[in-house]
Every structure is written in C-alpha cells, then in structure tokens.
C-alpha cells in the first residue's frame, strides 16, 4: 500500500481481534515510530507493550485507578474499565519523556511523540492490521503512569490498541478539503 493510500484510508476499527502484531511486525511499527519528525533528535518517545496475560493485570490497574478516582462508581463501571484492556491483543502505551532543552520546547517533544504514535497507526494499517488511539482519564492518572514504569514527569500521549480488524469502522466521510489560506 502506498503512503497516501495508507494515510487517507486508515480508520479506527469498531472491533479488534487476534492475532496482534507479531514480534517482527512490532519491530517495524517501532521503527516507523522512530522515523517521526523529532526536532533536536531528542527521541522523547517511550513505549510499553501490553499483551497476553499482562492485559488482565493492566485491566486491574485501570479498574483500581477508576475506583480511586471515583469511590462511588458502580461495580459495572469498574468492570467495564477493567475490560478495556481486553479490547485488543496488544496495547502500546506511549509516553513522552521530555528533557530540558533551550532549543526544543517541551511541546515540540510531546508533538513528536504524537507523530510517532500516528506513524504506528498508519504503518499498522499498511501492514494489514488495525488500530485505534485512546487516552482519557487513565492517560493522566499518576498511578497508571507509575504502574507502567513511566517517570513522574513523563506524559502519556496514547494507548494504541492493535490487532486484526474483526469489525471495520465506518469509512471516512468524503468531506471538502479544509480551508487553505495563502499568506500574502
């Protein structure tokens, strides 16, 4: 699949299933991530792979964090949070480990990590896999960050769910191009 087709036809699947990316595919996905624009070559991205039985343990982390954030949450909501870890055979937790650099502001480092995450989604699509990006409260929860081994000052940018498309997402609507203005 050529790059423009991969970029313009990728959609988030409605459901993912087995198999997830193989070890070789994961290596290619991480290589695609590392090819993202990176001002100053800071390489601020950090990846944690969650697969197999680790998904159940991560589900417990998600459920416990929700219960801590919302002590009166009903049991059904807690269980739904736990099951989020089972939505795909592989989850990539991606964080920005920013550094002080007078030439590369923190926002540029975080945006580089976002570009790395996008590269993974497009590369997965080009390889015949499916993926979708989630954040939400877990991305901003310090206990989840710690459980994943990220540093206190790291910023979780994405939870990428990866696997085989079990149910395709709706196709992207054909919309007019965004307004482009020329600076005169």
pLDDT digits (tens, 9 = 90+) for 95-134: 999 999 999 999 999 999 999 999 999 999 999 999 999 9
Contact 62, 119 (CB under 8 A): no
In a domain, 64, yes or no: no
In CATH, what number is assigned to the domain containing residue 15? 3.40.109.10
How many Cβ atoms are within 10 Å of 88's Cβ, its own excluded? 29
How many Cβ atoms are within 10 Å of 110's Cβ, its own excluded? 16
Q: Please give the pLDDT value at position 179.
A: 83
Dist CA 36 CA 19 (whole Å):
26
Nearest to 92 by CA among 40, 143, 157: 157
Whole domain around residue 102: which residue ranges?
A: 3-51+87-167
In a domain, 117, yes or no: yes
DSSP 8-state class, residue 176: P
pTM comes to 0.94
Count of the separate structural domains present in the chain: 1
In a domain, 162, yes or no: yes
In a domain, 37, yes or no: yes
Contact 84, 137 (CB under 8 A): no
Contact 13, 166 (CB under 8 A): yes
In a domain, 126, yes or no: yes
In a domain, 173, yes or no: no
In a domain, 178, yes or no: no
Nearest to 8 by CA among 114, 118, 115, 122: 122
């Amino acid at each position: 699949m050529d790059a423009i087709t991969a970029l313009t036809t990728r959609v988030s699947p409605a459901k993912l299933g087995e198999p997830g990316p193989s070890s070789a595919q994961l290596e290619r996905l991480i290589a695609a991530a590392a090819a993202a624009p990176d001002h100053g070559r800071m390489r601020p991205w950090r990846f944690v792979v969650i697969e197999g039985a680790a998904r159940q343990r991560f589900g417990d982390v998600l459920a416990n964090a929700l219960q801590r954030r919302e002590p009166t949450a009903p049991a059904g909501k807690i269980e739904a949070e736990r099951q989020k870890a089972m939505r795909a055979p592989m989850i990539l937790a991606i964080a920005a480990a920013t550094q002080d650099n007078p030439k590369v502001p923190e926002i540029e480092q975080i945006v580089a990590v976002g570009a790395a995450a996008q590269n993974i989604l497009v590369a997965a699509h080009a390889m015949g896999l499916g993926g979708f990006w989630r954040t939400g409260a877990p991305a901003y929860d310090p206990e989840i960050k710690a459980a994943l081994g990220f540093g206190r000052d790291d910023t979780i940018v994405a939870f990428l769910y990866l696997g085989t498309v079990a149910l395709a997402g709706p196709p992207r609507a054909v919309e007019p191009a965004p307004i482009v203005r020329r600076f005169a």
